[in-house]
């Protein structure tokens, strides 16, 4: 049998439980009713036959008595022969025998017996007494005796008594037959009623059993149906299916197969949903911080834009860019950076800002979408600013990693939105641009987006395009600023790059160098500077008046950290023929921070070539003295920010004196940049600074003009 046929039998079972027993019960009830009806019919027929026979007997007995009386009277008056008398006597005797048999038959009927037990015996005795006197009268008549009349009188008397008795008996039998008929009808009615009530009771029991069976079957089917619905509804949690488990264990047949199939499908569906959740998690959430990623935040931002347009309120997209996070990865490793990012995301999530959704959209970049801001633009900006203060305060708390505390800050850009002019991509672009401007202004800064931001961003994009073309078109030039000793004599120069833009003219390094650092173009630009500087050293080496000059070249951190940097410098020296002893590389403190051991090893490789090193912008970074004493430096350079206000700021004086003393203690040459007045030179010289660089001696000039300037008599200290 097919499973579908078996399942159909399960559905038909409640119906069969009623129909089959009902048919059997109906047939049984009809059989019993038929038997009862037949019994009643037989009894009624027998009683009716008895009554008919009783009536016929009385009539025939009356005729027979009349015939006997007439025969006896004729015999008395006519004196028939013995043969006639004997024939008549035989006829009468036969009639009496027949009547006697009928009397016995009537006496044996159930109706007479049911009337009274003595009725049959009394009837027989009465007839026998009557017959006895008839026989006696007949015998007396045959013998010609004179007492025939006496016997006939007695026979007549007995006949009358017998007739009266038979009439009374007939009446009683009629009444009894009627009673028996009523009793039989009542018995039949009771039997039918009993059968009906028994049938109804049994049918009720069957209906109850069928209803219970239907309820159980329906309950199991409902359990199975609910299980199928639960499995088909993807947004609901898959239940435990305990009832399905019990069905599979306690039952057999199609229900067991269905339950087993559902349990198997549940496992499959659970695995599918788990895989779907993992895919959704990977697609919409950041794997490190478990925060919504770029894709989910874009969708949420679009929903926020639509909601704000409907409610006539403002929203804000807050863009957080962690300041100098690369320093953490370089100095402590990426594991430390990941842990700090996780702690940072937990702090931001713990703020529980109403109507705010936090997400991570980049390595060290987070965004927060704030909804439900006031409809007034100024009030919305003020509320957003207060929220960002909470963010900055939370981010500014120390982070513990290992045995050290670290501090982080974030540059924040904010883009407000509330009308149909804004779209998702533009808002992210605006907020990111505002964050970049905040970072350029100062760490831990905050900027709101305005149209000027976009203009500045577009200008930056155009500048980047031109910068890439500038490398191909050789639009860069080097200028040189003289470096002098304590007597004002030229001992070298610093090579400074300038960009001669075809349309904009000379562009300051402060404009394009940060962009080159950001885009990675600083590496090919630095390579060009190094090669141009080596070529200039070769030109100076061919002139006795300039062959002693040392040329300092600035090297960016990104350029210095290139794996092939040592080979690049060696190749530039070899290709140009420049002397390594006349080349000085100026490094910033950011170049050293990170993999210190690799930096020191690379510096020693270059020192082996004869190249010298200077620490540029000393005092403005975060260099440790522990690192400083390990670095193979030849010179430290006092930043011009400490020299510019030397005579107005006592703190600058103290810093300058400390740097000079430190350099002398470490055996390092000290050079000060930003020397613009005689007073600057005199003060530095009085405190035994070794070399100087600044506008007082020479502005950045071309190589020819710088040489001319350096050949003039040096200024004198007065």
Which distant-in-sequence residues (6+ apart) come within 8 Å of 201 by Cβ?
none
Quick one: tokens of 499?
Answer: 């960009």
Report the pLDDT value the prediction gives residue 399, as an integer from 0 to 100.
82
Q: Residue 368: enclosing H or E segment and its boundaries? A: strand 365-373
The pLDDT assigned to 8 comes to 47
Average pLDDT, the chain: 79
pLDDT of residue 552 exceeding 90, the answer is yes
Question: CA dihedral in degrees (384, 390, 393, 396; nearest 10)?
Answer: -80
Task: Please give the average per-residue pLDDT across 130-140, as a whole number.
Answer: 68
Assign 671 to helix, strand or coil: strand
- In this prediction, residue 453 carries a pLDDT of 53
| pLDDT of 494 | 95
Nearest one of 83, 14, 95, 20 to 57, comparing CA atoms: 95
pLDDT of residue 197: 80
Report the range of poorest mean pLDDT among 87-101, 314-328, 416-430. Answer: 87-101
Query: Worst-scoring range by mean pLDDT, 52-56, 472-476, 651-655?
Result: 52-56
Q: What is the pLDDT of residue 305?
A: 85
**Percent above pLDDT 70 for the chain:** 70
Q: Which fold has domain 286-449?
A: Alpha-Beta Plaits (3.30.70)
With CA atoms as reference, report the closest residue to 677 among 707, 712, 647, 711: 647
Give the range among 84-98, 436-450, 479-493, 582-596 with minimum mean pLDDT.
84-98
Higher pLDDT, 51 or 432: 432
Copy the structure tokens of residue 322. 């962690």
| 486 neighbors 690 (Cβ within 8 angstroms) | yes
553 pLDDT tier (thresholds 50, 70, 90): very high
**Residue from 672, 712, 669 nearest 693 by CA:** 672
Question: What is the pLDDT at residue 284?
Answer: 77
Res 81: pLDDT: 63
Considering only 324-338, 353-367, 393-407, 450-464, which range has the smallest mean pLDDT?
450-464
Strand 404-406 to strand 410-417: parallel, antiparallel, or no bridges (unpaired)? Answer: unpaired
The pair of three-digit structure tokens given for residue 215, joined into one six-digit string: 């309820």
Question: Per-residue pLDDT for 576 more than 80?
Answer: yes
pLDDT at 567: 94
Looking up tokens 């650092």 gives: 517
For the ranges 32-36, 374-378, 538-542, the lowest mean pLDDT is seen at 32-36
HSE-up of 651 (CA within 13 Å, CB side)? 2
Q: What is the pLDDT of residue 590?
A: 74
Sort strands 365-373 and 356-360 into parallel, antiparallel or unpaired: antiparallel
- pTM summary value: 0.51
Tokens of 289: 């911080």
pLDDT confidence of residue 16:
59
Q: Is the pLDDT of residue 113 over 70?
A: no
Residue 536 has pLDDT above 90, yes or no: yes
Q: Is the pLDDT of residue 221 over 80?
A: no
> Which is higher by pLDDT, 37 or 536?
536
- Name the band, by pLDDT with cuts 50, 70 and 90, for residue 591: confident
- 34-43 average pLDDT score: 71
Give the pLDDT of residue 140: 65
Q: Indicate the helix (H) or strand (E) that contains 649.
A: none
Q: How far apart are CA 229 and CA 242, in angstroms?
A: 16
The mean-pLDDT minimum among 117-121, 376-380, 486-490, 612-616 falls in 117-121
What mean pLDDT is predicted for residues 229-257? Answer: 67
* 233 phi/psi in degrees, rounded to 5: -95, 105
- pLDDT in the model for residue 535: 94
Residues 6+ apart with CB under 8 A from 391: 318, 320, 348, 351, 368, 410, 412
Query: What digits encode the pLDDT tens for the residues 659-684?
Result: 999 888 888 999 999 999 999 999 99
Contact of 710 with 490, CB cutoff 8 Å: yes
* Spatial CA neighbour of 292 closest among 281, 306, 302, 303: 281
Q: Which of 144-148, 159-163, 650-654 has the lowest mean pLDDT?
A: 144-148
pLDDT in tens, 293-310: 888 888 888 888 888 888
Decide: residue 364, CB within 10 A, 0-12 exposed, 13-18 middle, 19+ buried: buried
- What pLDDT does 519 receive? 83
Q: Reply yes or no on whether the pLDDT at 241 is more than 70.
A: no
pLDDT for 5: 45
pLDDT of residue 582: 94
CATH number of 474-711: 3.20.20.450
As a whole number of angstroms, the distance between CA 674 and CA 646 comes to: 10
Check whether 261 has a pLDDT greater than 80. Answer: no
pLDDT band of 6, cuts 50, 70, 90: very low
**pLDDT surpassing 90 at residue 579:** yes
Q: Work out the average pLDDT over 319-341.
A: 82
CB 395 within 8 A of CB 409: yes
Beta-sheet strands, E only, within 352-462 = 356-360, 365-373, 399-401, 404-406, 410-417, 446-448
170-174, 382-386, 392-396, 465-469: range with lowest mean pLDDT: 170-174
The more confidently predicted of residues 515 and 526 is 526
pLDDT tens for 371-425 read 888 888 778 888 888 888 888 888 888 888 777 788 888 899 999 888 667 788 8
Query: Where does the pLDDT of residue 3 fall: very low under 50, low under 70, confident under 90, or very high at 90 and above?
Result: very low
Question: What does the pLDDT read at residue 565?
Answer: 92
Which has more pLDDT, 86 or 554?
554
Q: What integer pLDDT is reported at residue 158 of this predicted model?
A: 67
Q: Is 544 exposed, middle or buried (0-12, 13-18, 19+ CB in 10 A)?
A: exposed
Domain residue spans in the chain? 33-189, 242-283, 286-449, 474-711
Retrieve residue 70's tokens.
């007439």
CA dist 686 and 58 (Å) reads 180
Q: What token pair was written down for 638?
A: 């006092």
The top-level CATH class assigned to 33-189 is: mainly alpha
The whole-number average pLDDT for the span 163-181 is 67
CA distance 652 to 202: 114
**pLDDT confidence bin for 186, thresholds 50/70/90:** confident
Find the range with the poorest average confidence among 196-205, 436-445, 517-526, 567-576: 196-205
Q: Give yes or no for residue 574 having a pLDDT over 90.
A: yes
User: What is the sign, positive or negative, of the torsion defined by CA atoms of 556, 561, 566, 570?
Assistant: negative
Nearest to 414 by CA among 297, 320, 552: 320
């Amino acid at each position: 049998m097919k499973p579908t046929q078996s399942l159909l039998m399960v559905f038909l079972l409640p119906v069969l439980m009623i129909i089959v027993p009902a048919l059997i019960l109906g047939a049984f009830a009809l059989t019993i009713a038929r038997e009862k009806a037949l019994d009643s019919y037989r009894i009624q027929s027998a009683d009716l036959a008895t009554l008919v026979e009783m009536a016929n007997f009385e009539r025939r007995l009356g005729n027979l008595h009349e015939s006997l009386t007439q025969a006896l009277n004729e015999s008395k008056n006519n004196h028939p022969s013995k043969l006639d008398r004997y024939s008549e006597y035989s006829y009468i005797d036969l009639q009496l025998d027949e009547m006697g048999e009928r009397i016995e038959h009537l006496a044996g009927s159930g109706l007479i017996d049911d009337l009274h037990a003595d009725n049959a015996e009394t009837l027989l005795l009465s007839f026998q007494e009557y017959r006895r006197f008839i026989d006696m009268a007949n015998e007396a008549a045959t013998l010609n005796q004179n007492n025939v009349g006496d016997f006939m009188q007695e026979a007549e008397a007995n006949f009358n008594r017998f007739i009266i008795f038979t009439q009374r008996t007939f009446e009683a039998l009629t009444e009894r037959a009627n009673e028996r008929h009523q009793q039989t009808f009542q018995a039949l009615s009771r039997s039918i009623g009993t059968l009906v009530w028994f049938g109804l009771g049994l049918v009720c029991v069957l209906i109850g059993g069928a209803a219970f069976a239907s309820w159980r079957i329906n309950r199991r089917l409902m359990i199975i149906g609910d299980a199928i619905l639960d499995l088909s509804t993807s947004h609901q949690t898959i239940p435990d299916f305990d009832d399905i488990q019990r069905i599979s264990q306690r039952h057999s047949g199609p229900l067991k197969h269905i339950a087993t199939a559902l349990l198997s499908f549940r496992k499959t569906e659970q695995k599918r949903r788990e895989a779907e959740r993992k895919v959704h998690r990977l697609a919409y959430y950041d794997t490190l911080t478990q925060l919504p990623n770029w894709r989910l935040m874009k969708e949420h931002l679009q929903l926020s834009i639509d909601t704000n347009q409907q409610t006539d309120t403002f929203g804000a997209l807050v863009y957080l860019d962690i300041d100098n996070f690369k320093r953490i990865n370089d100095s402590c490793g990426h594991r430390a950076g990941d842990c700090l990012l996780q702690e940072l995301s937990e702090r931001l999530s713990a703020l529980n800002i109403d109507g705010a959704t936090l997400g991570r959209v980049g390595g060290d970049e987070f965004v927060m979408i704030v909804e439900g801001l006031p409809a007034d633009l100024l009030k919305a900006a003020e509320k957003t600013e207060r929220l960002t203060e909470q963010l900055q305060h939370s981010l500014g708390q120390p982070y513990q990693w290992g045995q050290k505390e670290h501090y982080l800050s974030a540059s924040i850009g904010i883009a407000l939105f509330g009308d149909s002019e804004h779209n998702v991509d533009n808002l992210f672009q605006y907020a990111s641009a505002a964050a970049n401007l905040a970072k350029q202004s100062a760490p831990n800064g905050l900027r709101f987006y305005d149209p000027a931001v976009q203009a500045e961003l577009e200008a930056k994009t155009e500048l980047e395009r031109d910068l890439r073309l500038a490398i191909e078109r050789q639009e860069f030039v080097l200028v040189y600023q003289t470096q002098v000793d304590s007597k004002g004599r030229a001992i070298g120069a610093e090579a400074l790059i300038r960009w001669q833009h075809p349309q904009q003219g000379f562009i300051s390094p402060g404009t394009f160098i940060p962009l080159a650092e950001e885009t990675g173009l600083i590496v090919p630009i630095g390579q060009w500077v190094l090669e141009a500087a080596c070529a200039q050293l070769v030109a100076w080496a061919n002139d006795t008046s300039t062959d002693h000059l040392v040329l300092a070249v600035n090297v960016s951190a990104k350029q210095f950290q290139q794996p092939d940097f040592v080979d690049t410098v060696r190749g530039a020296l070899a290709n140009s023929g420049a002397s390594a002893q006349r080349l000085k590389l100026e490094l910033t403190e950011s170049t050293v921070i990170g993999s210190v051991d690799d930096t020191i090893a690379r510096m020693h490789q270059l020192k082996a070539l004869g190249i010298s090193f200077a620490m540029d912008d000393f005092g403005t970074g975060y260099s440790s003295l522990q690192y400083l004493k390990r670095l193979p430096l030849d010179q430290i350079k006092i930043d011009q920010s400490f020299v510019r206000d030397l005579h107005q700021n006592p703190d600058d004086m103290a810093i300058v004196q400390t740097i000079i003393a430190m350099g002398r203690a470490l055996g390092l040459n000290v050079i000060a940049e930003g020397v613009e007045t005689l007073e600057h030179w005199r003060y530095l010289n009085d405190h035994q600074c070794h070399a100087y660089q600044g506008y007082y001696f020479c502005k950045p000039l071309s190589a020819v003009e710088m040489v001319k300037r350096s050949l003039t008599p040096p200024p004198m200290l007065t």
